[in-house]
Structure 1
Amino acid sequence: MDHSHHHHHAMDDAGSMDMNHGGGMSGHRCQMSMLFTWNTQDLCLVFRWWHVTSMLSLILSLLAVVALGMGYEYLRAVSRRYEARLEAEEVYTEQSSLLPGTLRANSTAQRRKRGNIGKALLYGAQVFYSFFIMLLFMTYNGWVMIAVAVGAAAGYLVWGAEESAAKIVACH
């Protein structure tokens, strides 16, 4: 079957997709690469307004990505401390309570429910944050990928060094 009459102009550059949606910026278009690249020309990070247009904006963007990576590790550390505090409170309550069994059980159940809500909110924030970082990584830009890894490593060094690195690596 002859397909020569079909126009495949949209597939001319399968490695890059033009992401300009009429933003009015003449000459500057967001490019989304589908292949690994070091190119920073017309690089947009997640949002159309986060557009790298100069060396300064590239450096500032990479520093922001490092800060985001560190922030994720900070959020993980906050979650670990919150869970440890809940466990310590539960142990303390069980060991030192003078309340009769039924009152203590009701109080413990309410505290556990509040704690679980807090843990669920922190977990949801971690999932959202991790997927945002994944979107940054999925620019397939080597500089952005390195910035994500540097941010994760620096954040781990500051807030997670007491944890085993082998146990905490995850997609989210």
Structure 2
Amino acid sequence: MDHSHHMGMSHTDHNTTTPPSHHHPTTSASHSHGGDMDHMKMMPMTFYFGFKNVELLFSGLVINTPGEMAGAFVAVFLLAVFYEGLKIGRESLLRKSQVSIRYNSMPVPGPNGTTLMETHKTVGQQMLSFPHLLQTVLHIIQVVVSYFLMLIFMTYNGYLCIAVAAGAGTGYFFFSWKKAVVVDITEHCH
């Protein structure tokens, strides 16, 4: 059964997410490919500003009023700030838990036939340790939150997209200044 005519459907009313109804007799072939396509919701494929019938991550979480959109905006904004803080926090924890630091020096050719020493710092962490277990759990949380933010952005709702971008920018502003950049004065190449 060819369902391609549903994919090219024009969707002009962005306050609803369901396509116009086309009634087709249901065949066993349509059930083998995921069920009757008539009951699938069409997702908007362009940015829009609206607050009616906006599903947010879960089917039961639907925005229908300006107040609900304002609440969702604040929640998404804070989630994006949290995501940025989590990234920087993980880096900080990793630096604090580093063990087995090694320095390797090697000669490299310098200008005018001179020889310079280049030093490389190698750090490691034990696999079966609490810091590594904590990093693993925090990594899982970071990945899940990042996918949530991506899916929220993919609603194409302008308000929610602005909340993601503004939260990411605010989080970076507040947390990244703590990120110390250490320059090794013995490094000459990069």
TM-score band by shorter chain is 0.5 to 0.7
Distance in 2 of aligned mates of 1:46 and 1:148: 14
Larger Rg: 2
Match of 2:150 among 100, 125, 134: 134
Aligned to 1:113: 128
AA at the equivalent of 2:10? D
Identify if the C-alpha distance between structure 1 residues 14 and 74 changes in structure 2 by more than 3 Å, giving closer, same or farther.
same
Unaligned runs of 5+ in 1: 1-5, 20-29, 95-108, 165-172
Q: Which has the higher contact order (CA 8 A, sep 6+)?
A: 1
Identity value in percent: 27
Distance in 1 of aligned mates of 2:127 and 2:95: 13
AA at the equivalent of 2:128? K
AA at the equivalent of 1:37? Y
AA at the equivalent of 1:156? Y
Q: Deviations over 1:23-50 (max 9, x none)?
A: xxxxxxx873122212222111111222
Which one has a larger percent helix, Structure 1 or Structure 2?
A: 1
Worse-matched range after superposition: 140-149 or 36-45: 36-45
Instruction: Please report the TM-score for the alignment, with normalisation by the length of structure 2.
Output: 0.58
Instruction: Please report the TM-score for the alignment, with normalisation by the length of structure 1.
Output: 0.63
Match of 2:76 among 55, 61, 65: 65
Q: Secondary structure at the match of 2:10?
A: coil
Aligned to 1:25: none
Worse-matched range after superposition: 34-43 or 127-136: 34-43
How much does 1:132 deviate? Answer: 0.9
Q: Tell me how many residue pairs correspond in the alignment.
A: 132
